[in-house]
Amino acid sequence: MRHFQELCGGVAGEFEPVSRSCRAPLPSGRLCPRQDRFKCPLHGPVIDRDDMGRPTDPDLRRREDEKKERADADWQDPQLLKVGPCLTFKL
């Protein structure tokens, strides 16, 4: 083993286990179980969240709420709702 470490140069540090998970709310109502160090590939940066999946930082909580409101309002655009029935058809 020592000979192998000399050839490869050894390990560049100690392994630190991941201490927290993403915990972002999923559409199913559960929390994201992914344990990434810095960034979840599905939800972005891993931040501190409470038991309900809301950010503990008030500024981040406000931003997330605004983002959710904008996403909900996009499909309720009055012009889109007028055109919507025209786009559906029956076979």
Domain extents in the chain: 18-60
* pTM, entire model: 0.59
Adjacent-strand bridge partners of 44: 40
**What 3-state class would DSSP assign to 47?**
coil
Instruction: Find, among 36, 56, 54, 60, the residue nearest to 46 by Cα.
Output: 36
**Residue pLDDT, tens place only, 18-71:** 888 999 999 999 999 999 989 999 999 999 999 999 999 999 999 988 888 877
